[in-house]
Amino acid sequence: MKQVLIPAAFNPSAGTVDFSNVPGFVPTRLLAIVNSSARAVLYDPTSAGLGIASITGSAIKLQADVSAHGASDRVIAFYDDGQTMATAARQPALHADGGSLAHVANFPSTQTVSGSVTANDGGAPITGASLPTGGSGVTGWLSAIWSKLSGTLAVSWSGQSVASTQSGAWSVAVSNLPATQAISATSLPLPIGAATAANQPALHADGGSLAHVANFPATQAVSWSGQTVGVSSLPSLPAGSNTIGSVNVANFPALQSVSDVQNAPFSGAVAMTVGTVYAAQRSLGVLCAASGNVQMLLSDGSGLTLPVTPGWQTFPFAVIQVVAAGTTATASYFNLK
């Protein structure tokens, strides 16, 4: 085993290290010697010049020059004492009682087991029983089912009829039942909530659970607002103030005479194109399709702008031109003579 030794003495001037303090010291077991104070190796058997010059008892003389070292320097040696190597002689004794570990010496690989053995002991023999099919004895199989025979056994009567009192709802199949059965209505029970006379709600003028109206008149007043009717079918208007919205007249002439504001009939009309100059006439007629303004140039050179709405309109002005700039209405224009 490797050990660290402190020598008994170190003599730098003599170059010796004394190990007389180590019992049984063997110089050849030295591994190395170092001076830890001087940080120097004094002995290394693997290096030239660092071996042993001579041995006197427990003192060795070094090959290295250590004269400059101090006698009080700390010198350490690494040593193999050779006494604790793991040899067979140094193994711990084996003890049956264990020690730190349980050891059993010379344990035989084969053990002898003794006892009384009875072959094929499967239960107590019985009498009055025959061997079942596939059985090899009359003891083992009966022992195996004894626990089943000693308690309550479940019995299956497959295919057998057993009288029993039953309760509950059941369905019964009847063969050869006639397709048509005689049924009396008086014997049939009505379902809960059937519409019988007793279950009908009472009629009430104020509604009740359902809305019922008593004494509903057979004749009802009907409004003819918006309906087309013949005049001959209408009754005479009552006396007083009456307002008629509009009346469609059949066979109304397609051509009608038109008069200006002086009620003088026009003798003719000249269609006008916007932007074109015409000879002045009595009035301007406008057949408007979309509202807007009409910019007019009068015969005296002045201008006039008037709004127009859809329909036919006449203006008592001598107009010689409908000016494009300022006219926003969509219309046809006529110079009325």
Question: Is 185 inside any structural domain?
Answer: no
Instruction: Give the pLDDT of residue 233.
Output: 67
Which one of 26, 55, 80 terminates a domain? 80
User: 80: which 2 tokens?
Assistant: 């193999």
- Give the CATH number, domain containing residue 279: 2.60.120
User: 305: which 2 tokens?
Assistant: 């702008």
Highest mean pLDDT among 39-43, 107-111, 187-191: 39-43
Quote the number of domains for the chain. Answer: 2
Question: Is 302 inside any structural domain?
Answer: yes
CA angle (178 as vertex; 172, 180 as ends), nearest 5: 115
pLDDT band at 3 (very low <50, low <70, confident <90, very high): confident
Question: Is 74 inside any structural domain?
Answer: yes
* Side-chain half-sphere CA neighbours of 277 within 13 A: 4
User: 272: which 2 tokens?
Assistant: 């006008």
The dihedrals phi and psi of 71, each to the nearest 5 degrees, come to: -65, -25
| Domain hosting residue 49, numbered range | 2-80
Task: Write out pLDDT tens, residues 285-296.
Answer: 999 999 999 999
Task: Write out pLDDT tens, residues 171-228.
Answer: 888 888 887 877 776 667 788 878 887 777 776 655 555 555 666 777 877 776 777 7
CB atoms within 10 A of CB 169: 4
Question: Is 148 inside any structural domain?
Answer: no
The answer, yes or no, to whether residue 116 has pLDDT greater than 70, is yes
Question: Is 73 inside any structural domain?
Answer: yes
Question: Is 16 inside any structural domain?
Answer: yes
Question: Is 311 inside any structural domain?
Answer: yes
Question: Is 177 inside any structural domain?
Answer: no
Q: Position of tokens 């809305």? A: 211
Which one of 80, 103, 137 terminates a domain? 80
What is the arithmetic mean of pLDDT over 94-105?
55
Q: What is the pTM of this model?
A: 0.28
- Give me the sheet containing 40-43, strands edge to edge: 2-5, 75-80, 30-35, 40-43
Which one of 80, 104, 132 terminates a domain? 80
Instruction: Give the pLDDT of residue 120.
Output: 58
Query: How many whole angstroms separate alpha carbon 331 and alpha carbon 233?
Result: 41
- Beta strands 303-308 and 330-336 are unpaired
- Is residue 15 within 8 Å of 65, Cβ to Cβ? yes
CA angle (59 as vertex; 54, 64 as ends), nearest 5: 55
Instruction: Give the pLDDT of residue 331.
Output: 94
Instruction: Give the pLDDT of residue 218.
Output: 74
